[in-house]
Structure 1
Amino acid sequence: MTVESGQVTKVARSPLARRLVVAIVLFSSIITLVITAIQIRVDYEQELSDIDAEFEQIRHSSLHSVSQSVWVLDELQVRNQLKGLTKLSSIEFAAVNVEGKQRWAVGQQPDRDQVSARFPLTYQHRGETLEIGELVIIGTLDNVYHRLMDRVLFILFGNGLKTSLVALFSLFLFYHLLGRYILDLKQFADRFGEEQDLPLFSLNRKRSARHQPDELDSLAASINHMVKTLRNREDDLRVFATTVEQSPSSVLLTDADGNIVYVNPTFTEISGYTLDDVYGKKPAQLTAGLTADEVSEQIWETIRSGGVWAGELKSRSKSGTIYWESVKIGPVLDKNGEIIRYILVNEDITLRKSYEEQLLHQANYDGLTNLPNRLLAFDRIAQAMVTAQREKCHVVVMFLDLDRFKNVNDTLGHALGDELLVEAAKRLRSCIRVEDTVARLGGDEFLIILPGIQKTQNAELIARKVLQAMAAPFFLNGRELYITASIGITIYPEDSDSPEILLRNADVAMYQAKAQGSNSFCFFTQTMNNQARARLEIESELRHAQENRELELHFQPIVDARSGQIVAAEGLLRWNNPTLGRVSPDTFVPLAEDIGLILPIGDWVLRTACHTAMTWQQSGRTPVRVCVNASVRQFRNGNIVQTIASVLEESGLPAHCLEVEITEGLLLDDAPEIQEILNKLHRMGVRISIDDFGTGYSSLCYLKKFPFDVLKIDQSFVRDVINDPDDAALAAAIIHMAHQLKLEVVGEGVETTAQLHYLQDNGLDMVQGYLFSKPVTAEGFKRLLDQKKSHGSLSGVVKKTDSHTLTEH
């Protein structure tokens, strides 16, 4: 009861309840007044109507008798009749006027609120109606007013009592039907802001089985829906707040004027500033002096127009450290689209910028010498050309290559070679001006760019200075090394206005300097350009030679020196181009090595040779070995063993019918993988020969260390065995040494019988040369094999040719 009465009191005191009661009272009062006014008006009209009725009654009932009394001049009777009239409730005064003058009167004439009537007095005399006077009756409305006032007071009192009862009853209904639930709702709202786990709002009222949901139920449902929505949004806000608080990015919030009102912990962690340090300050104050004014203006112009600005800016931490940030700034709008906040999300990208700078440096500078690389060198040349064109001067480009650097790498190791390159780079930098550039193109190739040269003769002076600096001894790891350089020089604008062509010109001139001998320089000439163009044309055609089926494989017989029988065939590559004609192997094979085409071409030669040899055997001819030259690149590519095994399986050629020829250049590195490859081939049954023995860095260690089957004496020794005792002695010594090592020996380039007889006399096993046959096509070699079958051997040919060569054939 206490709680209930307390709630009633609250309802009674509530402004809403008071407004309800006042509204009821006012409305009831207005209605009462209106109804009372209408009622009084009706009553007033009724009173007037009653007075009129009395007047009519007088007309009909008293007028005749009064006329009689006046006719006979019965004053007493007239007065009695007038008194009788004044006794009526509404009449105060009655009088009879004769000839316009008052003759008899009874009563007091009222001063105000009177009502009157005048009736003519007539008398029938001798058939004629005579007007003998006038009856005047005057009544008062005071009684009417008194009666109406009593009635008004009664009505007002009754309606007032009724209004009060209605108001109290309405207040009760308001509380019972609505007020108490409003109070419950208020209490729920008060508790909702304080209690997290508050249950949903429920109307505390009894419900019958026939209860239909009403507005309060709808209100309760709407409130509970709102509560759920608010809780979901609160959860979302909590998640958002947690996300912002734990975000790895700095988050700042400003007011509409750009003053900081919030920062997350990451901002404090990165910058060192707390919210107290920066509250009310502008974010720009943290980058003061680090952001250009035009950038700041662009930022504000973008975000004030409702856009989002993104970019990278420098900031300064509380300790003074400068760091990079990826910044995204955008406005926060209210429901009307007005800006109320700005939010800044910053990511510390200092480490990434550092990596980018490193990558940029790595992309433009050589990792070993820290010199500009090819990419940056081209840019420097282009810049120098623009300046030279404007200032009417020259640009000198020098292409420098270290002489015999490969020997240093091969003999002393790559580590020492790298140290040598670093020291060489230092010397080159010491020879030039600050505005000049020294770049490393790769390996032992350097580029020197000299911009702003007024006299081209100065290029020669600088070249000599560079050669002199490079010729001085290098002291590395306790070793004294000597190395020289070759320099090719080209000049802008005389030689070209293209950085690429200038570099190519300098490269061509450098190779010309090498051809002249080490430790020299050479200026580019048009002749060199023509040679370079020819090389480019050959290179372009060579790249399509295999797919256009321009390559051919010719075979030169290798003959047993005693019997004259053909025991092997060396496959020799030929190229017949529709544009260039027949191109010498000495021209295109080194080029194929340089541009990397030797691998597919070498595979084609190997496959073609094996298939051709197997075709000879399948046609019933005596099996002969086929010899194929293998390049250094094929061995260093790492899969030559698998390639040979695959080709042998594919063609069906026995492994002992294949002989792989290598040069001494392959063995200079003394790499373990080369020896392993040769051992694998040897175990497969493939024969291995060393070609052009005696022309390179010949070493007996090679013959002992590697599994060779055949040694081929270079034709430069065979050519002069008859005329030069030294060559004859060397050839005889090589044959004897090879036999001691259980190697077979082939003499290359045998063109005369005298050469053949000398070699035979010294025990040579096999010979090869124009004395027997020049290289021929596969069909031509088949005919040679057929001649062998018909004549028994080629020994007869040897006897017939005597000292003449077969080159004429």
Structure 2
Amino acid sequence: MKYKILDVMSISLLTFGALLFLANFLNEQALGDNSLSLLVSPIFIVVLGAFFFKKKLSYSIRVYINLIAVFLVGLLSVHFYGMIGPGMMFFLASSFIGTVLLERKAALTFIAVSFLTFTVYNLLWVLEVRQFNFDVIPYSTSFETYVSRMMTLLFFGGLILLNQYRIIDFLVDSLQKLGDTNQTLSEKEEQVREQYNELLYNREHAKFADHKYEVLVENTDDAIFSLDATGELTSVNSSLLKLVNKKEYQLVGQKVSTVLPDSKNVQLFNEHLAKLLNSRGSVEYITEVRIQDVSNGTYHVKLTPVINAKNEILLITGRAHDVSTLVEKEEKIKQLAYFDQLTQLPNRVLFEQQVTSRLSSHADDYHIGILYLDLDNFKKVNDTMGHDAGDDLLRTITERLKPALTSGEMLSRMGGDEFALLIMYKKTEVEDFPLALRSLTRRILELVGEPVKIHDMLFYLSASVGIVMYPQHGQSFEELMQNGDAAMYRAKNGGKNQYRFYSNHMKIEINESILVEAELREALNHQELSIHYQPLYDAGTSTLRGFEALMRWNSTKLGHVFPDKFIPVLEQTGLIIPYGEWVFREACLENKRYQVKTGARTIMSINISPIQFKDIHFIKNITSILQEVDLAPEFVEIEITESILIDQFDSIVEKLKELRALGVRIALDDFGTGFSSLSYLRKLPIDTLKIDKSFIDDILIEHHPRMIIASIVSMAHEMKLEVVAEGVETKEQVQYLTKHNCDTLQGYYFAKPQLFELLEEKLGV
């Protein structure tokens, strides 16, 4: 309605304003000065423009354009004609417009400003600051002035009459509508009264229904609750309050996240709530409820929406039923069927299911491989210490390997001392899969190789690992496992504590092994075998302590063959006994020659295989050779490994005592990498402990090897044993070992193993 009044107001201003402008223009023409008309015309043009562009202007801007237009016309009139002009009429007109179109406070402010302006401006005429530039008497009595004033009166009167008519019309219309509304309300009142009576009846009926529902809800063991679409609880029963140990006022109005603060519970709830809101159907799931990091059981949760005719969710009801007993029984059955009871690892059945499933579903996006792992010499641990110790060892190895695995790896116990590891890496993340498998396998071998303390004894284990990749090495679980087993045995036959990738050429390698054996049988006759010697130095004085004799083979057909290739073959075929005698004789001869040539009291260290040592003629042959060479037994040191001690410990000790009785020195080689026990070590009649190179390599960068070396040196010195460090390669290692009381040093820092004549040249002999 206010826009209609504003339109009428604008039309009135333009219509009567045009007539007034014409009359005033004629009056000014008679006076000879039309300055006022020239100034007024732009004002009315602005009002006309505002009317035509009213859709683009706000209501308040249009109102103030009209107000200011009338106000300015009046102000100009006072400026040119003083108190005899029509200015006061325009002041009244603008005040009227403000009263009609403005809010009360704004209207009063405008009227006050207008009154003050006109009062001050008229005072300027009284004080003769402003003066007429024409003869007042003729102007005031002229016909033109008469017409101008009549038009001014007509302008103001028309403005009032037109707008009064419009306002009265508005009031009459409003009264009519008010009457119609009153009639409608009277009719509706009767309807409301009827509905109210019906509501009272329904309310009583609802109270009875609520009471029945409350009895059912409060007497069930299930946790019952309701919530809105945002997940905010609106009601809870006593079972839920008991479950979360809270009062009702602490839950109602709160988000479910405040009731179940465990992130997994909240995430699972939010996922199913979102599914319910999307589908408008019931959802259910099973979850472990955790309150303050304590499990309160496993619950089957069901959420059901209550929906109106517009498919809007009014509320959501929820029920949580305790299924802990059922889940425990199910888990126990699953545990027995799919998990190894000793290590709690997946057993072969579950491992086969997982591998088969992933081969069919993930082969396109993932690299898939299997490590087949077998612990070396585990049977001997069982035989010497009993099956309980063996079980403890298996559990320890399992717990050691678990933290090293990622989510893409699954460790399983196949049975006995055999394990299998499933590896899956995304092809987009791992480019060189064989390299990744090598890195992981080396890490596993390191973990297995760390000492294990069982029944106050230290065990040093190793493992042999076969590696297969899908689909290169097999298309099925059975084929992969068969080939992994073959690769594992190849690693074990290669010297243990190693890994091998399965190769389609393994049959060829077997044939090559037969060839190695055949060539090795004739190697000594063909003079293909040689002995290299590496010097040992006193750590304190840097003087030469002696040499270690090492067998080497340079075959005319196979080329240079490494010891780890042909020594196992010598042991498997029994050739190690005659070949070992040859090494022992040659090494003693070289030491005798060197002593005669230099006068030095050097000691020759000679490695003895377990096969040699267990030979019934071993001591007799040693004695015979020493007599033949005429070398005093005290200048010979026999090196044995800890693996000799596993079988027939007591008989081994007796044989060592016989050697000591002859005067031969005994050294325990590679100490710390195998079967070690302080109680066993004290029973051994030995002279020297040789620390394995694997501990020396990292002494400058890792704390653990330094602790082991310090312990070995301290223990050995308490037992009056000499300590030899093998594999010394840097000056810093020499300084560290010397500082920490190591007796003798050996390694590439001093000299690599070489023929004795070359070594003599290096020594300046």
Q: How does the TM-score come out when normalised to structure 1?
A: 0.35
Which of the pair is proportionally richer in helix? 2
Larger radius of gyration, structure 1 or 2? 1
By relative contact order (CA 8 Å, sep 6+), the higher-ranking structure is 2
Q: Normalising by structure 2, report the TM-score.
A: 0.37
